Amino acid sequence: MDIKNLESFLKENNQPTFRLKQIQKAVYQDGASAFSEITSLSKDLREKLDQEIEILSFETVQVLQSKDGESIKALLKLNDGNFTETVLIAPKPGTWSACISSQVGCPMGCKFCATGKMGLKRNLTSEEITDQVLFWRQWLRKNSSDLTSKPHPALRATFSLERRRGKLSNIVYMGMGEPFLNWDQVRESLQILTDKNLFGFGSRSISVSTSGIPEGVAKLAEEFPQVNLALSLHFADDKKRSEIMPVNRKNNLESLKKSIQNYFQKTKRKIFLEYIMLDKINDSRQDADNLIKFIRSIGNVHLLHVNLIRHNPTGSEFKASEKNRAQDFKNYLLKNHIGATIRKSAGDEIAGACGQLAGKL
């Protein structure tokens, strides 16, 4: 929602100053999807607002839900006809994470990623970025009764209805795009998400993920030291990384190492190293040794945690590592005192998992 537009509207209509806060709370925190739902406003004002102000800056084209109800993907049509996507994931009962996009497409060209194949169409505005969160807040408000009354049989046994209801509690910038290449709008979106009068998320419940742009890492540390940082490493060997992730030709492992060290100095906070597991490409014992060596060379090993993600199908030549191979890789890291987890891939059946977003039906 365009907040400035709302402010001017209220001023022009001689509304008292508290009205803005009242509407902001109803829209951003309670998930009202139309002004007509805000019954504390007069009928006349509600009607005028609905005629003049759009709450969302896009149209919903399609919402797909996985069978287990754990992942939901939305395809959204922006005002200029471009499309973007956003995903809602339940990493554990009672908790929802919104995975949001910062660009339409992505210029980084990582070879395993469907978004990378699209190239960059354009940057999203801070409004378009935060409206994705608004969209999910509205969606949860409208659908939580469906989610609770019709859980998938597999879930019925595991989760009580009460726990299924859940809240949107985490935001991850891991959808389409490289957030640090759209920093001005991403910065503004972070301010909106953490503004107590708007969404009011705690900084620590937000994560920004980068493919490795040192200038961006430095800006995040400086301006939002409490926001979590995830770095898509995927390879700890410059030759392989440059081949599959072109960003490495400009920002190699040595520059990433320095950037991580500076981040630690400034924030003393943990970084999550994302490591997509590609069958026989980066999942050998040698690859694990390279990763251990790289992590040890950075120092502060306790502040680095490796998230292993088995590759999701994206129509590329890459295949996911075998489950056993991923498990061995993780165990080897643990044996060498490197924190590591195999992240459950959410959303692959609806093409909403990491690297699968391509802005189409």
Q: Are 205 and 115 in contact (CB under 8 A)?
A: no
Task: Provide the pairing of β-strand 206-210 with 167-173.
Answer: parallel
Task: Give the list of residues 6+ apart from residue 161 with CB closer than 8 angstroms, or none.
Answer: 148, 149, 151
Binding mask 300-339 for ligand SF4 (x = CB under 6 A): ----------------------------------------
Q: Applying CB under 6 A, does 208 fall inside the site for ligand SF4?
A: no
Determine, following the binding rule CB under 6 A, whether residue 178 of this chain makes contact with ligand SF4.
yes
Residue 214 engages ligand SF4 in binding (rule: CB under 6 A): no
Cβ proximity to ligand SF4, 41 vs 227, nearer residue: 227
Bridge pairing between strands 83-92 and 71-78: antiparallel
β-strand pairing of 83-92 with 95-99? antiparallel
* Interface with ligand SF4, residue 359, by CB under 6 A: no
The answer to whether residue 228 forms part of the interface with ligand SF4 (CB under 6 A) is no
Asked if residues 250 and 256 have their Cβ atoms less than 8 Å apart, the reply is no
Max Cα distance, the chain (Å): 69
- Among 88, 113, 206, 353, interactor with ligand SF4 by CB under 6 A: 113
3 state SS of 120: strand
Residues recognised as catalytic: 85, 354
| Contact predicate 277/311, CB 8 Å | yes
**85 is an interface residue for ligand SF4 by CB under 6 A:** no
- Residue 101 contacts ligand SF4 per CB under 6 A: no
Residue closer to ligand SF4 (CB basis): 166 or 355: 355
**Smallest separation (angstroms) from ligand SF4 to the CB of 330:** 21
Q: Containing H/E element for 310?
A: strand 304-310
Q: Kindly state whether residue 267 participates in binding ligand SF4, applying the rule CB under 6 A.
A: no
Q: Is 212 in the site for ligand SF4 (CB under 6 A)?
A: no
Nearer of residues 147 and 178 to ligand SF4, judged by Cβ: 178
Q: From CA 207, how far away is CA 173, in angstroms rounded?
A: 6
- By beta-carbon proximity to ligand SF4, the closer residue of 10 and 230 is 230
Task: Tell the residue number behind the tokens 């301010």, with chain if given.
Answer: 191
Residues found near ligand SF4 in the complex (CB under 6 A): 106, 108-110, 113, 115-116, 176-178, 211, 355
